[in-house]
Chain A
Amino acid sequence: MTLQKRTLITPSPAATAEVAMRLASLLKPSDVVLLEGGIGAGKSFLTRTLIQHCQDHPEDVPSPTFTLVQEYETNIGPVWHTDLYRLYGPDEVIELGLIDAFEEALCFVEWPDRLNDLAPKDALTITLTPLQAEDSRSIEFTWTAGAWASRLDPVFQDQWI
């Protein structure tokens, strides 16, 4: 499969939050979202907004950098928020139980390069890039398999600001 891509620009954190909430409407357990972008790009912000949006009583969604994995119960099912930055590689990913979670939960994976070839073929990659304007972000969606081309329509359906 070839790499496919859709991109949008959000001018503010509120707009990035709106994208997160629209993503919540189309994602489900067993979807795997790989989050790319450097420190401060907004990976945790996007995930936090989405998780809290899917809870009747929103919980704390702290950064998973120290704990590696945070699990949440939400209206769309179990959600895993993981940060693999501190891991060595695929062996530790398996030890963490992430491969099983790929089947059962909606998984958000920060620093997914640690997965090597363990990343599911139909994973959605979201790349966040800070732009020149204050708080503006480029949000790029890429994938090689899966029905993401049509599934992502709600995110792009109209202007969010």
Chain B
Amino acid sequence: MQSATRHLFLGLESSCDDTAAAVVAIQDGTPEILSNVVMGQSALHAEFGGVVPEIAARAHAERIDICVTQAMQDADIELEQITAIGVTAGPGLIGGVVAGVMCAKGLSMATGKPLVGVNHLAGHALTPRLTDGISFPYLLLLVSGGHCQFLLVKSATEFSRIGGTIDDAPGEAFDKTARLLGLSQPGGPAVEQRAKSGDTKRFRLPRPLLDRPGCDMSFSGLKTALLRTLDSLVNDQGGLFQSDIDDICAGFQAAVGDVLVEKTNRALDECAKQLSYAPTLAVAGGVAANAYLGDRLKDLCASRNIQFIAPPLRLCTDNAAMIAYAAGELYHLGITHGMDLSARPRWPLDTAQPALLGSGKKGAKA
């Protein structure tokens, strides 16, 4: 991105529960976020345990129009000034992705501006460049919604997966732990808060897959271990004391922390093998919001003398600034898309890697 011209990129994101639009300016490779509008659902947590999803394409479509108008107003620009329109084309909820892609195509047709389809995960993966200007390559720990993977980010189009979860993502594990303990949703903040006054040593929960080589993770088994801990407490004392909940949360968070730290350490080793040095570690996604986990990863990097990057939370959770920025990177590589851009509900970033097999996989095909 050596061009001295200031390019403006509009980004649209509607692949998950939120709807968002943003404008990012890029000049000489230096990005600046001019606007970043997110119409969230986070206020509607309901009693269900988890954010209420927006399934209806038409609801996303209505919201994305409002978001785009607001993003243009906040950035104080007109559509004619835009260089290209970036849109999340997957992976995600089909109704939302389709609504975003349709809106972007409409804008592209009306203005004649090029269209750039962006992988939602690539948006997260490139965010450390948007916020901290780091150069390739770097190791990204992406923990967002249902995702949890280690990606070696080599360029705006090359991501190689070093490992990932074979079942639940940590965010789900936190939400489900909160559900089991009767805590409020979303589970991450609730569990973190209770863990603060808990004893990490009282309940020793398993550290799944730590005994096996490689960087794959598993968090599903923690649910079963939690259930058994709860059952035995209820059997022994007829119910739970507040201190029990604190201690369980602390034990759970420590288990997740141990797994993340050890697997991150191994992922850094794996990168060091490929690159002959251990690269910068960046984290993206909701896990970055957990101070305990963030501190443990920071400590790991300090002990290895490696740079640690954690973008601000509003750019770690789903947003459109990351999509606008990623579209900018792709546009400068000469990548644009036509009206045949299709929504892809599933779109792995690194299709060259084999699938993460569940631990129950046995037999000839294993």
Interface residues of A (CB under 8 A from B): 13-14, 16-18, 20-21, 38-40, 44-45, 48-49, 52-53, 55-71, 85-88, 92, 95-97, 130, 134-135
Contacts and interface: CB of A to CB of B under 8 A. Distances in A.
B8 to A, nearest CB: 32
Given A40-B224, A65-B50, A85-B48, A58 B167 contact: no
Contacts of B224: 40, 130, 135
A17 B362 CA distance: 8
A13 B48 contact: no
Contacts of B55: 68, 87, 92, 95-96
A48 B224 CA distance: 17
Contacts of B357: 52, 58
Contacts of B360: 13-14, 16-17, 20, 45, 48-49
B48 A86 contact: yes
Nearest to A20: B360
Given A17-B360, A45-B358, A66 B172 contact: yes
B187 to A, nearest CB: 11
A60 B91 CA distance: 13
Contacts of B223: 39-40
7 nearest A-B residue pairs (beta carbon): A40-B223, A66-B146, A17-B360, A48-B358, A40-B224, A66-B145, A49-B360
Given A52-B358, A66-B16, 17 more contacts: A13-B359, A17-B362, A39-B179, A40-B220, A52-B355, A53-B363, A58-B361, A58-B365, A63-B146, A63-B169, A65-B172, A65-B175, A71-B345, A85-B50, A86-B51, A95-B95, A135-B224
B120 to A, nearest CB: 11
14 contacts: A39-B227, A40-B223, A40-B224, A44-B168, A45-B360, A48-B167, A60-B164, A60-B356, A62-B146, A69-B94, A70-B346, A85-B48, A86-B50, A86-B52
A85 B49 contact: yes
A13 B50 CA distance: 28
Contacts of A63: 146, 167-169, 172, 220
B308 to A, nearest CB: 26
A18 B366 CA distance: 13
Contacts of B77: none
B167 A45 contact: yes
B355 A45 contact: no
Which of B52, B164, B360, B361 has the largest count of A CB atoms less than 10 A from its CB?
B360
Contacts of A61: 355, 358
Given A39-B180, A39-B223, A87 B95 contact: no
A61 B168 CA distance: 10
Nearest to A66: B146
A68 B227 contact: no
Nearest to B348: A60
A119 to B, nearest CB: 18
A145 to B, nearest CB: 29
B52 A14 contact: no
B169 A62 contact: yes
Contacts of B16: 66
Which of A14, A20, A38, A86: most chain B CB closer than 10 A?
A86
B93 A68 contact: yes
Contact of A49 (B94, B145, B345, B361): B361
B53 interface: yes
Interface in B309-363: 345-346, 348, 354-363
Nearest to B358: A48
Contacts of A66: 16, 145-146, 169, 171-172
B105 interface: no
Nearest to B224: A40
A83 to B, nearest CB: 10
A95 B99 CA distance: 14
Contacts of B240: none
B200 interface: no
Nearest to B168: A63
Nearest to A42: B224
Nearest to A51: B358
